[in-house]
Amino acid sequence: MTEPEQRESARYVDDIEAQIMGHPRTLRRTDVGRIAGVSGEDMQRLWRALGFASPRDEDVLFSEADVVALRGVMNLVSDQEVDRATALSMARAFGRSTDRLAMWQTQLIADFVSGDDGIGLDRHTALQTAQVTAELADRLEPLLVYAWRRNMTLAISRMVADSEPESQVGVIRTVGFADLVSFTQLVRQLSERELAQLVLRFEALASDVVSAHGGALVKTVGDEVLFTHQEIEGAVDIAFDLLDAAAADDLVPRMRVGMATGRVLARLGDIYGNTVNRAARLTSVARPGTVLADAQVATAVQDRPHVRTAALDKIDLPGLGELRPWALQHKRDSDQGDA
């Protein structure tokens, strides 16, 4: 891009930002702090917590929208609704979540604008995507707020259900890892566009299946999805349906699932602990199209009419010691196999 084109693009982006934020850039960092009545140190901490790079004092990068946001957060602290550390942690949670959301959203709009998968966008399509995104911002905002509030009620419901007479570290969850078989080899055979289509399909498939059974999709990382459920039976249903959905999809390769139940530590939108590690290790040794679980999961579902369980030979899992895995199979699938 030539220097005149760079300047033109910068002006265009400034106009789009003013349209989305509702105000043009007119303020420096010190101006925002002075108007909001907040120290430069507090402003810098909040700005970093939200995930934004620290600007120079002379850069005109802020608007009235930044003043309103900064004042609102600091009022939470001054009104003693939350302490300073909690306010910054919440800002960090918002920043990390909305960063991924914004990238995801603009990619989807780019797909719509280009009629393709957004790989290798030209400048015309990028500028058109920016304009469409700005035009849709006000209409999408109510959906964003609704989804946040609805998920807040679900989080509260889970928290209350998890509460116990005495304080306990962590919560009880059944954890499942599902990964795509031979994904690394498959990537070598796919073009970037084909890979983008596969990733989108896999994420949509996993999200739909987990949500349908009332589970929580913790994260997707490339060829792997991590999900949880408060009930063992619900998690097992998710595992079976993920395998079925992959088998029925011409684009998504076969999956394998590892499952474990026990206490997990839920922090920063992720989960940690031996239960998570156990599920992950079981996934790594599962055969394509199968579900491997620990004894607690197998015991809980062994009397269900549509589940067949089978104890396998003990295996040694690095860092976890010796474990006897159990194979879980939907009786419909096993009957077909017997036939």
Q: What is the residue extent of each domain of the chain?
A: 3-159, 168-338
What are 274's two structure tokens?
């031996």
Could you read off the pLDDT of 285-320 as tens digits, one per residue?
999 999 999 999 999 999 999 999 999 999 887 778
pLDDT value of position 12: 84
Q: What does the alpha-carbon distance between residue 287 and residue 281 come to, in Å, rounded to a whole number?
A: 12
More reliable by pLDDT, 333 or 293: 293
Average pLDDT over residues 98-114: 91
Residue 167 has pLDDT above 90, yes or no: no
Q: What does the alpha-carbon distance between residue 295 and residue 278 come to, in Å, rounded to a whole number?
A: 11
What are 220's two structure tokens?
């997707």
Residue 44 has pLDDT above 70, yes or no: yes
Residue 338 has pLDDT above 50, yes or no: no
Confidence at 333, pLDDT banded by 50, 70, 90 = low
The pLDDT mean for the chain works out to: 88
Q: What does the alpha-carbon distance between residue 119 and residue 197 come to, in Å, rounded to a whole number?
A: 10
pLDDT value of position 241: 95
Average pLDDT over residues 207-231: 92
Average pLDDT over residues 53-72: 88
At residue 225, the 3 state secondary structure works out as strand
pLDDT value of position 11: 85
Q: What does the alpha-carbon distance between residue 123 and residue 119 come to, in Å, rounded to a whole number?
A: 12
More reliable by pLDDT, 274 or 11: 274
Can you say whether the dihedral through the CA atoms of 50, 52, 54, 55 is positive or negative?
negative
Q: What does the alpha-carbon distance between residue 140 and residue 148 come to, in Å, rounded to a whole number?
A: 13
- With b meaning 16 or more CB within 10 Å and e meaning fewer, what string describes 229-258? bbbbebbbbbbbbbbbbbeeeeebbebbbb
Average pLDDT over residues 65-79: 90
More reliable by pLDDT, 134 or 44: 134
Average pLDDT over residues 223-249: 94
pLDDT value of position 119: 63
By the 8 A CB rule, do 234 and 270 touch?
no
Kindly give the pairing relationship between strand 270-272 and strand 315-317: unpaired
Q: What residue has token string 């919440």?
A: 90
Superfamily the domain 168-338 falls into: Nucleotide cyclase, GGDEF domain (3.30.70.1230)
Tell me what percent of the residues of the chain surpass a pLDDT of 70: 95
Residue 161 has pLDDT above 90, yes or no: no
pLDDT value of position 19: 92
Residue 173 has pLDDT above 90, yes or no: yes
Q: What residue has token string 């995507």?
A: 129
Could you read off the pLDDT of 229-238 as tens digits, one per residue?
999 999 999 9
Residue 129 has pLDDT above 60, yes or no: yes
Average pLDDT over residues 116-134: 82
By the 8 A CB rule, do 195 and 120 touch?
no
By the 8 A CB rule, do 312 and 282 touch?
no
Confidence at 334, pLDDT banded by 50, 70, 90 = low
pLDDT value of position 134: 95
Confidence at 339, pLDDT banded by 50, 70, 90 = very low
pLDDT value of position 16: 92
Q: Write the CA distances from 155 to 151, 276, 303, integer angstroms.
A: 6, 20, 31
